Amino acid sequence: MAGHWYENLTTGEEPHSMPVITEIEDLKRIYKRRVPKMFYDYAESGSWSEQTFRDNCSDFDEIRLRQRIAVDMDGRSTAAQMVGQDYAMPVALAPVGLCGMQSADGEIKAARAAEKFGVPFTLSTLSICSIEDVASNTSKPFWFQVYTLRDDDFMKRLFDRAKAANCSALVITVDLQIMGQRHGDIRNGLSAPPKLTPATILNLATKVPWGLEMLQTHRRSFGNVIGHAKGVSDPGSLASWTAEAFDPSLNWERIKEFRSRWDGPVILKGILDEEDARMAANVGADAIVVSNHGGRQLDGALSSIRMLPRIMDAVGDKIEVHLDSGIRSGQDVLKALALGAKGTMIGRAFVYGLGAMGQAGVTRALEIIHKELDTTMALCGERDVANLGRQNLLLPSDFETRWQ
């Protein structure tokens, strides 16, 4: 199968003779075959025992949908606003590091797919393609994500670079003061470019299309960091910088300071507690993302979708609430919206497409999510995503109260 439809992947065009792809899982199967193990494991794993990683998806499955009939389903709309900006549906591509290792120039490909589809793309600080790379290869503003780092000079210059690139929103990840223990990444010796250990070489030998594609780009390490952060001039010096980069002393005053440096919308990503949600509203954030970092930080934390109702009760009338972690379908998007979220983010769902088929794969992932959202909305008796609510759901009696 790989012999004919992989050939068009670098162009972003729809591959010829592409296998039938009707759900995100179809993309995941292709992705697993095509991408080196360390980068597949990076996307498809959580921290510690991966309990939270699993719960993120399984808790969505506990929510049932209420079917309605004899309702006019013509003229449906998934159009929505997030942080005052108009989009084709309330779904953003989440900031995911190392996208340029899933597919050559991966961030550029994902940004182009998002731009064409009409949804926001969020560039990670730990991307392979730099802010400038993405800006020069797209025509519309994108969102930019920053971590809370010790190096204040580097942080200020990141903000300036994002402003110069005309980024339309700043996403501040607030749940990574220290790194969660991710066993798979440690065992694999995750790095960009990959270190050529015997195990890695054996695995790369089975990923020839991926390797040939990577040979066609010069972008193979962290474009926003190397040559920009003090003392980081090559991949060899990056590891020591990364080990000390995150700021364990982060507090709300520091977050408030970051907010004051950005004139546009600020989104705080990584909120999983009602009190933290209230504090986010108090420091002037425009939106929060209810998120547990895709189950890659505190294992044993509750899933994002299970925490969403509590956070909506606490701040739903004070701040715009988005959700990520666990979304693998348009039905998951609908469930989050019906529980009050104004927007959602997908990470792994688009990464599967990116690794499987480049830009065309990201486009296919967005098409799948949109089709599932639109069809499910209609079968629930709604014509506009703005009208989704609790009336469309059937929840277990203890969904919000099981864990106290």
For residue 339, the model assigns a pLDDT of 99
For residue 378, pLDDT over 80 is answered with yes
For residue 12, pLDDT over 90 is answered with no
Q: Could you report the per-residue pLDDT of 210-220, keeping only the tens digit for each? A: 999 999 999 99
293 is catalytic: yes
Nearest C-alpha neighbor of 376 from the set 332, 313, 346? 332
| 3-state helix/strand/coil string of the chain | CHHHHHHHHHHCCCCCCCCCCCCHHHHHHHHHHHCCHHHHHHHCCCCCCCHHHHHHHHHHHHCEECCCCCCCCCCCECCEEECCEEECCCEEECCCCCHHHHCCCHHHHHHHHHHHHCCCEEECCCCCCCHHHHHHCCCCCCEEEEECECCHHHHHHHHHHHHHCCCCEEEEECCCCCCCCCHHHHHHCCCCCCCCCHHHHHHHCCCHHHHHHHCCCCCCCCCCCCCCCCCCCCHHHHHHHHHHHECCCCCHHHHHHHHHCCCCCEEEEEECCHHHHHHHHHCCCCEEEECCHHHCCCCCCCCHHHHHHHHHHHHCCCCEEEECCCCCCHHHHHHHHHCCCCEEEECHHHHHHHHHHHHHHHHHHHHHHHHHHHHHHHHCCCCEHHHCCHHHEECCCCCCCCCC
Q: Which of 218, 293, 322, 370 is catalytic?
A: 293
For residue 16, the model assigns a pLDDT of 55
For residue 1, the model assigns a pLDDT of 37
Whether 133 contacts 217, CB under 8 Å: no
Superfamily (CATH) of domain 2-62+79-371: Aldolase class I (3.20.20.70)
For residue 192, the model assigns a pLDDT of 82
Segment 141-155 mean pLDDT: 96
For residue 224, the model assigns a pLDDT of 97
Q: Please state, in angstroms and rounded to a whole number, the distance separating the CA atoms of residues 139 and 364.
A: 21
Q: Does pTM surpass 0.85?
A: yes
For residue 382, pLDDT over 90 is answered with yes
For residue 17, pLDDT over 80 is answered with no
For residue 18, the model assigns a pLDDT of 67
Q: What percent of the chain has pLDDT over 70?
A: 96
Segment 145-163 mean pLDDT: 96
Q: What percent of the chain has pLDDT over 90?
A: 87
For residue 334, pLDDT over 80 is answered with yes
Q: Could you report the per-residue pLDDT of 42-84, keeping only the tens digit for each? A: 999 999 999 999 999 999 999 999 999 999 999 999 999 999 9
Segment 287-300 mean pLDDT: 98
Segment 372-401 mean pLDDT: 98
Q: Could you report the per-residue pLDDT of 354-368, keeping only the tens digit for each? A: 999 999 999 999 999
Nearest C-alpha neighbor of 144 from the set 125, 128, 157, 130? 125
Residue 190: band (very low, low, confident or very high) from pLDDT cuts 50, 70, 90: confident
Whether 268 contacts 305, CB under 8 Å: no
For residue 374, pLDDT over 70 is answered with yes
| Domain residue spans of the chain | 2-62+79-371
For residue 10, the model assigns a pLDDT of 43
For residue 3, the model assigns a pLDDT of 42
